[in-house]
Structure 1
Amino acid sequence: MSTRLPVKPPDISLTAALTERSARVVAAAKLQRHTGRRRAGRFLAEGPNLVEAAARRGLVEEVFATESAAARHAGLLAGLTVHPVTERAAKALSETVTPAGLVAVCRVPDTDLGEVLSAGPALLAVAVDLSEPGNAGTLIRLADAMGAAAMIFSGHSVDPYNGKCLRSSAGSIFSVPVIVETDTAAVLTALRAAGLKLLATTLDGDVSMDDADALLGEPAAWIFGPEAQGLSPVLAALADHRVTIPMAGGAESLNVAAAAAICLYQSARAQRRG
């Protein structure tokens, strides 16, 4: 006569926890899309460097970590809300070829143009209709390195909180205010009203960078156009000065990030000299 072993009832609490965790992963995955980030006011920061930088700003809401990543970065994760996930789930949340196994859901910082301008900034960077996230991230990093008070993306620029832009910023997006405004004309009007000179780089500018030291020593906002065609003639005409970067070689123009590096450095240098 056979004896039937008792069937162990399912652990309801464990099942509920796994279901909740799966729902959190699904919700986090939606933040890989611009519409998801805009609706939620949240974004994903992947990898220890970005997670640490976001945590220093107090922006991290929760972290998804594989077992191995949690062990490697135990000190970083101390005090944060951490959800263990499988390698497969971590890959679903990753936008990189080699997932770090560490992804944080972060709040978009509350930044306001009026607040930045009320502090009397000496240097600002404005990108108009910038479409390449790598360039956007590099501009954020440059603005941070050169001591700009903020990096402003206007018009139909790329979302600065997408994964590639975040990685290209190398964490600087958590160090310098990043402002997104759709109305470029309104932004430029506000900057001029705050006492900032509007400077644009053009191939046929009225001032050479070599002769612009006095001009660059004043509080200024540099305006950079999209990668392919640069600033439109209409927007360039709104600037107080159009500055040309002298080029002795055969290149006809510079990448927007290269031009921004020269312009922001020259302004920061002139302002340091007083």
Structure 2
Amino acid sequence: MVSVTSVRPRLAELRRLARSAAARRAEGVFLVEGATLGAEAVAAGLHVREVYLEAARADEESRVLSEQLAGTGAALVEIEAGTLAKVGASVTPQPLLAVVERPAVAAPESASGEAHDDVVSFVLVAVSVADPGNAGTLLRCAEAAGAGSVIFAGAGVDPYGPKTVRASAGSIFRLPPLLAEDPAATLEDLRGRGLRTLGAAAGRGLPYDAADLTPPLALVVGNESHGLPASLAGHIDEWVHVPLGGQAESLNVGAAAAVLCFEVQRRRRDAPTAGGTPADR
């Protein structure tokens, strides 16, 4: 086992990566906790640089995965029990933590580019979403509903933060998010490539079951507290909302996006193909 003293510089770097989006971007990596997510990252073809294992409390799955990763060139560091709690990636850390290279993804401008027009006909755009759990839910819902791309635009949470990675339940590996600084420019680019922009806002526009949700489209959701900024109104083609019962004023952005994403999936699935039968997706 490697002593905590000898790995102290590495642990300091782990703490920096756990807490700083800028550090993760600069290093081109993110942190993946636990054997289950670690195995999914590997299955998605991502490269693992380092694996930290608390051997004294590691289960068989964690031991096997760490050995497999070491065999592929990842640096395996065995540390004392309780060490990962000091990193701060989670309140109750799992015994395995991997440093994984971020996947190379196309720029937002290529999300619906000509080479992908037959695939990326449904894009989810999250503008200034602030909560890591919500960001992970958006990724998970988008993948499950068959979206071809997710774009995080504006000043929001880093989708590669530890909490978002956990909340995505592996979807971030298979549907790597795109990042964009300027939401307006991103929406205009998507419109220019033939996607309608559909803004989601409480009580605005048509109820989702009466709106045209057939692709190609970009579903645009906003910040948890403030929704979509008024400055984006000129870049939205249509507005849609989820009708509410009772005295609820609004839905969590993740819940609203789930309803809308799966309605898009239903419309795609039920749309007749060239042969006159419903499509699979």
Per the normalisation by structure 2, the TM-score is 0.85
What is aligned with 2:66? Answer: 77
Look up the match of 1:116.
111
Encode CA deviations 1:174-223: one digit per residue, 9 max, x unaligned.
111201111111110111111111001123433222222xx212211100
- Compute the displacement of 1:70 (Å): 5.0
Aligned residue identity for 1:205: R
The alpha-carbon distance between structure 1 residues 177 and 224, as it changes in their structure 2 partners (threshold 3 A), is same
Letter of the structure 1 residue corresponding to residue 30 of structure 2? F
- Cα distance between partner residues in 2 of 1:245 and 1:71: 44
**Residues 15 and 89, structure 2, Cα contact 8 Å, conserved in 1:** no
Q: 1:175 and 1:50 mapped to 2: Cα distance?
A: 12
Q: Which residue of 2 aligns with 1:68?
A: 56
Residue among 20, 26, 38 paired with 1:51: 38
Say whether residues 1:86 and 2:80 are aligned partners. yes
Among 23, 39, 56, the residue aligned to 1:36: 23
Maintained 8 Å contact 1:42/1:105: yes
| Distance in 2 (alpha carbons) for counterparts of 1:241 and 1:96 | 40
Cα shift at 1:30:
1.6
Q: Which amino acid aligns with 1:116?
A: A
Give the CA deviation at 1:132.
0.8
Query: What is the number of residues matched between the two proteins?
Result: 258
- Which structure 2 residues correspond to residues 87-236 of structure 1 after superposition, within 5 A? 87-112=81-106, 113-118=108-113, 119-120=116-117, 121-212=120-211, 215-236=212-233
SS at match of 1:186: helix
The letter for the 2-side match of 1:259 is A
The alpha-carbon deviation at position 42 of structure 1 amounts to 1.3
Preserved contact between residue 210 and residue 246 of structure 1 (Cα < 8 Å): no
Q: Distance in 1 between matches of 2:139 and 2:59?
A: 32
Percent identity of equivalent pairs: 36
Helix, strand or coil at the partner of 1:248:
coil
Change (3 A) 1:90 1:245: closer
Secondary structure in structure 1 of the residue aligned to 2:105: coil
Counterpart of 2:254 in structure 1 is: 257
Secondary structure class of the residue paired with 1:26: helix
CA–CA distance in 2 between the matches of 1:230 and 1:79? 45
What is the CA RMSD across the aligned residues, in angstroms?
2.1
Distance in 1 (alpha carbons) for counterparts of 2:59 and 2:167: 26
Say which of 250, 269, 272 aligns to 1:272: 269
Q: Is 1:25 aligned to residue 11 of structure 2? A: yes
Shift of 1:24: 2.5
User: Which runs of 5 or more residues in structure 1 are unaligned?
Assistant: 1-13
Pairwise CA distance, 1:129? 0.8
In structure 2, the CA distance between the partners of 1:211 and 1:76, relative to structure 1 (3 Å rule), is: same
Q: What displacement does 1:44 show?
A: 1.1
> Per the alignment, do residues 24 and 203 of structure 1 end up closer, same or farther by CA in structure 2, a change over 3 Å counting?
closer
CA distance in 2, matches of 1:245, 1:138: 18
The alpha carbon displacement at 1:169 in A equals: 0.8
Pairwise CA distance, 1:130 = 0.8
Q: Whose helix fraction is larger, Structure 1's or Structure 2's?
A: 1
Matched, 1:238 2:232: no
Q: Which moved more, 1:167-176 or 1:27-36?
A: 27-36
Following the alignment from structure 1 to structure 2, what is the Cα–Cα distance between the partners of residues 93 and 206? 46
Higher Cα Rg, which structure: 1
In 2, the alpha carbon distance for the partners of 1:89 and 1:18 equals 8
